[in-house]
Amino acid sequence: MKSYQVIIIGGGPAGAATALYLLKLGIKPVLLEKTAFPRYHIGESLTGEAGGCLRELGIDHLMSEQRFPIKHGVVVYGPTGGESFWVPVMKRDEARQLQPATTWQVRRSSFDKLLLDTAIERGAEVIPAAATATLQENGRLNGLTIRTENGTEEKVRSEMIVDASGQTTFLANQCKLVGQKQRGNYSKQVAVFSQVKHAVRETEQGVANTLIFYEKKNHWAWLIPIDDEITSVGVVVPREYFAAERLSPAEFLSSELKTMNPELTKRVPDLTFVEETRSASNYSYHIKHFTGPGFLCVGDSHRFIDPIFSFGVNFALKEAQLASQVVAKNLSGDPAAASALSDYERLSERGQDIIQDLVDVFWDYPLRFLVLTHHPRHRDEMIDIFAGRIFAEEVFKSAALNALRQCLVQRMAVAS
Ligand SMILES: Cc1cc2nc3c(=O)[nH]c(=O)nc-3n(C[C@H](O)[C@H](O)[C@H](O)COP(=O)(O)OP(=O)(O)OC[C@H]3O[C@@H](n4cnc5c(N)ncnc54)[C@H](O)[C@@H]3O)c2cc1C
């Protein structure tokens, strides 16, 4: 049986970034990826902190070479299209002052391949295979059964296993050491999406920003430029609404683009889709226990909240950064290795909970959300949260987060 130090299941952003961070620490991981890259994936708008991770990993020049559009922020349009608010991407300088910053919009097939290829160039090994089962001994995960491209099954051992299998949540499905998958707050939604040419992308703040169109609770749309010409378009609605329309995904998307929001209709004059129209549903879930002896989970493999403010890749990259240090501690036999695993789990949950609360307040109290986002006392801290700076003590203690949570406390009081 072959034996490795670290096996990472999945070569998407969470897996490739974990590999890149491990390589920075001098550890050469093995990645299992069951799909040939490049492959289509949804999730094209990056936060400021996701951009920061790419710079930290020394990938920014490759992002420029691929000419991924430069994102300066997000415009959120209200239901009539007449009113909107703007959240800029900003970073904190050494004096903790906010400074203008940029990040990227990406075509995921190219971006994911770029990350994976860079990990390979820097020393990671990729095995084109699917993990199919786990091996355990004395309550410790210590290996996997894998199915290779030619269909043969093999068993492989590993000191540490990182699950970065995305929404397939491999370990939660396969291994009793991992907690059960629970529905998230937005599990009854359907997203229908494709790509168009000729979208009107210009706003006061530039040409490559994320545009969000709010219709009503849990009913919204996005426009995200993914290159000079093509714009990703998507509509998200409650499942019942989609079913009641009795349309094919492409018909449904066209119909919503024509009728949902006047500003959106104006911006998509050409409804010829240049990519297959796809849909995703039941994508919101939460696995509460996702670390243990010999393993941890990163990115979508343990939680996905709601795509509205584009935090998916942010979690994948930031958790990869945190997880790589925990893996290194576990490999070195550090006596604090076990507590490093539970500290990682706690920190990740605290960060994800912030975004859960942000999204809940946005849907349940849109006006209060708007006031908070613009209030002089909270504006800067709200920009931090939007940028994805959600793993720091100062954010946990921030007045903006407290104010967000006050809204939810009142909701619980009313409900009881
Ligand atoms: C409608 C919608 C819109 C979104 N919009 C955005 C957005 O604008 N911005 C954003 O940041 N995020 C967005 N997201 C979220 C984003 O797509 C994900 O959070 C992100 O892709 C997570 O990365 P990951 O590496 O964890 O998982 P993935 O990118 O899904 O990668 C997982 C990889 O693991 C491989 N794999 C799975 N199982 C196995 C196995 N058993 N063996 C081997 N390989 C395996 C898969 O083939 C895949 O390549 C959106 C999500 C949805 C549903």
Would residue 194 count as lying in a domain? Answer: yes
Domain termination residue (choose one: 281, 304, 319) = 281
Would residue 326 count as lying in a domain? Answer: yes
Nearest C-alpha to atom 29 of ligand 1 is from which residue?
12
Number of domains in the chain: 2
Q: Determine if the peptide bond prior to 29 is cis (ω within 30°).
A: no
Q: Quick check: CB of 146 below 6 Å from ligand 1?
A: no
Q: Quick check: CB of 408 below 6 Å from ligand 1?
A: no
Number of separate helices (H) and strands (E) present in the chain: 14, 22
Looking at the CA of residue 224, tell me the nearest atom of ligand 1.
8
Same domain, 147 and 19: yes
CA dihedral over 103, 108, 112, 117, signed as positive or negative? negative
The residue to which tokens 């289509």 are assigned: 40
Same domain, 136 and 237: no
- Which residues touch 271 (CB under 8 Å, ≥6 apart)? 196, 254, 257, 258
Same domain, 135 and 150: yes
Same domain, 110 and 225: no
- Ligand 1 centre and the CA of 106: distance in Å? 13
Same domain, 56 and 165: yes
pLDDT band per the 50, 70, 90 thresholds, residue 410: confident
Q: What is the pLDDT of residues 96-121, one digit of tens each?
A: 999 999 999 999 999 999 999 999 99
pLDDT band per the 50, 70, 90 thresholds, residue 413: confident
pLDDT band per the 50, 70, 90 thresholds, residue 414: confident
Would residue 380 count as lying in a domain? Answer: no
Which CATH number characterizes residue 272's domain? 3.30.9.100
Q: Quick check: CB of 226 below 6 Å from ligand 1?
A: no
Same domain, 309 and 168: yes
Same domain, 268 and 289: no
Q: What is the pLDDT of residues 274-330, one digit of tens each?
A: 999 999 999 999 999 999 999 999 999 999 999 999 999 999 999 999 999 999 999
Same domain, 134 and 22: yes
Q: Quick check: CB of 116 below 6 Å from ligand 1?
A: no
Same domain, 197 and 124: no
- Which residues touch 150 (CB under 8 Å, ≥6 apart)? none
Would residue 251 count as lying in a domain? Answer: yes
Q: What is the pLDDT of residues 234-287, one digit of tens each?
A: 999 999 999 999 999 999 999 999 999 999 999 999 999 999 999 999 999 999
- Ligand 1 centre and the CA of 42: distance in Å? 7
Q: Quick check: CB of 10 below 6 Å from ligand 1?
A: yes
Same domain, 176 and 214: no
Looking at the CA of residue 312, tell me the nearest atom of ligand 1.
19
Q: Quick check: CB of 9 below 6 Å from ligand 1?
A: yes
* Contact indicator for 231, 199 with CB cutoff of 8 Å: yes
From 42, 127, 231, mutation site for ligand 1 pocket: most ligand atoms within 8 A of C-beta: 42
Q: What is the pTM of this model?
A: 0.97
Using DSSP's 3-state secondary structure scheme, residue 30 falls into strand
Name the residue among 242, 301, 342 with its Cα closest to residue 13.
301
Would residue 95 count as lying in a domain? Answer: no
Q: Quick check: CB of 45 below 6 Å from ligand 1?
A: yes
Same domain, 163 and 298: yes
Would residue 264 count as lying in a domain? Answer: yes
Q: What is the pLDDT of residues 154-187, one digit of tens each?
A: 999 999 999 999 999 999 999 999 999 999 999 9
Looking at the CA of residue 37, tell me the nearest atom of ligand 1.
49
From 145, 300, 314, mutation site for ligand 1 pocket: most ligand atoms within 8 A of C-beta: 300
**21-47 mean pLDDT:** 98
Burial category of 176 from C-beta neighbours within 10 Å (exposed 0-12, middle 13-18, buried 19 and up): exposed
Q: Quick check: CB of 131 below 6 Å from ligand 1?
A: yes
* Contact indicator for 295, 162 with CB cutoff of 8 Å: yes
pLDDT on residue 304? 98
Per DSSP, 273 falls in state B
Domain termination residue (choose one: 219, 254, 281) = 281
pLDDT on residue 246? 98
pLDDT band per the 50, 70, 90 thresholds, residue 390: very high
Q: Quick check: CB of 16 below 6 Å from ligand 1?
A: no
* Nearest-5° Cα angle at 66, 129 to 283: 50
Would residue 11 count as lying in a domain? Answer: yes
Per DSSP, 57 falls in state T
Looking at the CA of residue 167, tell me the nearest atom of ligand 1.
30
Provide the mean pLDDT of the chain.
Answer: 97
Nearest C-alpha to atom 37 of ligand 1 is from which residue?
165
b/e 73-86 (16+ beta carbons within 10 angstroms → b): bbbbbbbebeebee
Structural domain boundaries enclosing 231: 189-281
Structure tokens at 367: 């006006």
Domain termination residue (choose one: 232, 264, 281) = 281
Would residue 371 count as lying in a domain? Answer: no
Q: What is the pLDDT of residues 363-374, one digit of tens each?
A: 999 999 999 999
Same domain, 31 and 140: yes
How much of the chain, in percent, has pLDDT values that exceed 90? 96
Nearest C-alpha to atom 52 of ligand 1 is from which residue?
307
* Contact indicator for 308, 211 with CB cutoff of 8 Å: no
